[in-house]
Structure 1
Amino acid sequence: MKNVLFTLAFTMISTFTFAQEKTYQLSSHILDVSKGLPAAGVSIKLEQYNIGKKTWSFVDEKITDTNGRITDFLSNEKANSGIYKLTYFVNDYFKKDKIESFYPFIEVVFEIKDAKHYHVPITLSAFGYATYRGN
């Protein structure tokens, strides 16, 4: 009986814990290809485009972690369809290493059309970058 109660309690706690876990629809990652390392400490701003007004609205701004990642843009708690822009503020990232960069910031515009996860990474160097739809 004791084992049954323990198993039941563990199952209830595990289910409650996982049910409370928040998920996100959008993530990003920066890899500095000139170093072969993630770009940590880069501020990334997320904005959404209002088609009717032809204006951008602030959504969120975060800083990349030690792995060059931001994993928690756009909570899955609501529909997030629309046109978005990520602005990567890379100037300070290069300045801290006394590297001159051609790009003070990089803007990537994309459209979310469904409830799937969207990953928008960039590969970066002081004089070039590339982006793609990741997973």
Structure 2
Amino acid sequence: MSTASVSTHILDTSIGRPAQGVPVSLSARGAGNEAEWTALGTSATDADGRCKDLPAVPPGTTHVRLCFETEAYLSVHRDEAAFFPEVTVTFTVTPGEHYHVPLLLNPFGYSVYRGS
């Protein structure tokens, strides 16, 4: 059976546009909350707010973590430090499934969901 795959994008809901240049890292771990996280790779959002080059998830992965480094992006659009310097999203995966996990971001809030 094939491994799970992950994709993401970020929409800045305060301006209604994709968030470009946000660093994103992908980590994975096997079964059990005591398992160690393994860094799989990093990317950054493109002009469309998408990360198109996230690495494959290895076999045996049960949990995936996306970390969005939002501080620099949010600070550019405001005169003060970002309230959310990073957003970390952890979710479970099943082999063979694709997981698209968008981040809707604004200076004082965010939302994530499983997209298609």
TM-score in terms of structure 1 length: 0.73
Cα distance, 1:61 vs. partner? 0.6
Structure 1 residues 63-104: Cα deviation after superposition (integer angstroms, max 9, x where no partner): 00000001232337x636320110000000012233432101
Q: With CA pairs under 8 Å and 6+ residues apart, which has the higher RCO, 1 or 2? A: 2
Where does the alignment leave 5 or more consecutive residues of structure 1 unmatched? 1-23
Gaps of 5+ in 2: none
Choose which of 69, 77, 80 in structure 1 pairs with 2:50. Answer: 69
Q: Based on CA coordinates, which of the two structures has the bigger radius of gyration? A: 1
CA RMSD of aligned residues (A): 2.1
TM-score computed with the length of structure 2 as normaliser: 0.84
Whether contact under 8 Å (1:99, 1:126) holds in the other structure is no
Identity %: 33
Question: Runs of at least 4 residues of structure 1 off by over 6 A?
Answer: none
Find 1:119's aligned residue among 97, 100, 103.
Answer: 100
Q: Name the structure where helix makes up a greater proportion of residues.
A: 1
Take 2:52 and 2:60, find their aligned partners in 1: how far apart are those partners?
16
1:94 to 74, 91, 94: 74
Residues 36-57 of structure 1, C-alpha deviations (whole Å, 9 max, x = no match)? 0000000001111353743222
Aligned length: 111
